[in-house]
Amino acid sequence: MNIYAMRAIYHFEMARSFRAPLQSIASPVISTILYFVVFGSAIGSRMTMIDGVPYGVFIVPGLIMLTVIIQSVANASFGIYFPKYLGTIYEPLSAPISPWEMVIGYVGAATTKSIALGLIILAVSYLFVPITIAHPLVMLFFLFITSVAFSLLGFIIGICSRNFEQLNIVPTLILTPLVFLGGSFYSIKILPQVWQTITLFNPAVYLISGFRWAFFDVSDVPVTLSLVAIGLFSALLLGIVSWIFSTGYRLRN
């Protein structure tokens, strides 16, 4: 295993984020703070408790998942797309480094940034609401596996995109609505039975529900089902990445 090559890619991607801290760190944190102010303080004070949890506290896991998912995809997709755009992608492709070592470097950097953002938002949330984490290790595991899975998705999007418009279609038109409709700001138990059934086809429900269980010991779906769902999703993404490198799809041309 070429540790030096993986470390070089990882450090380059991390340095790219530190060169633009306002865009990489400050912007998503400030956006989440606005959610806390609007939904947690202004609206939350007028909402009833959900599953015995105050509304302002209840939305914290959903807001963290929202930021982590969107930023994981954005960091990984831009990280691999710019070498394609600039024509420098052929340097790592022709270097003595395997495709999976290349994936580890790019996805590892995107995962690190997303986990750091999630922990920063968690720390900031303590300024607005009192939070007790029932299962901290499970919370960290969900944070890690979600960051890895959606960084892999972002890596795939970055490779498959031909322009900046395609790069932003999935995060803007698909992922953000799915996360919002996946129970970020509400429990799906309050929906009519028909809509509860329809919502269960939304993969974001399982991520948010499992992550929320780690905080409050309550969930919309069993936590084991959430783990199975994210495991299958990660396996699917790994299969797609393997196929892309075995066929050279959108890399050789």
Q: Can you give the pLDDT at residue 42?
A: 65
Q: What is the mean pLDDT of residues 41-51?
A: 72
Domain hosting 55: range is 3-247
Q: How far apart are the C-alpha atoms of 141 and 159, rounded to whole Å?
A: 27
Q: From its phi and psi, is residue 97 left (phi > 0), alpha (psi between -120 and 50) or beta?
A: beta
Q: At which residue do the structure tokens 């509400």 appear?
A: 186
**Lowest pLDDT segment from 57-61, 89-93, 157-161, 189-193:** 89-93
- Residue partners of 15: CB distance under 8 A and separation at least 6: none
The reply to whether 145 falls in a domain is yes
Q: Does the residue 253 lie in any domain?
A: no
- On whether residue 78 sits in a domain, the answer given is yes
Q: State how many domains the chain has.
A: 1
Residue 110: which residues within 8 A CB-CB, separation 6 or more?
13, 72, 75, 76, 79, 147, 151, 154, 155
Higher-confidence residue of 140 and 9: namely 140
In a domain, 140, yes or no: yes
Question: Does residue 211 lie in a domain region?
Answer: yes
Residue 7 domain-assigned? Answer: yes
Q: Please give the average per-residue pLDDT across 36-42, as a whole number.
A: 72
Residue 252 is assigned to a structural domain of this protein: no
pLDDT band per the 50, 70, 90 thresholds, residue 65: very high
Mean pLDDT for all residues in the chain: 87
Task: Give, for 48, the enclosing helix (H) or strand (E).
Answer: none
* Range scoring the smallest mean pLDDT among 25-29, 151-155, 216-220, 231-235: 25-29
- Residue 129 pLDDT > 90: no
Residue 71 in domain: yes
Backbone angles phi, psi at 65, to 5 degrees: -60, -40
Distance CA 80, CA 162 (A): 12
Reported as a pLDDT band with limits 50, 70 and 90, residue 141 is very high
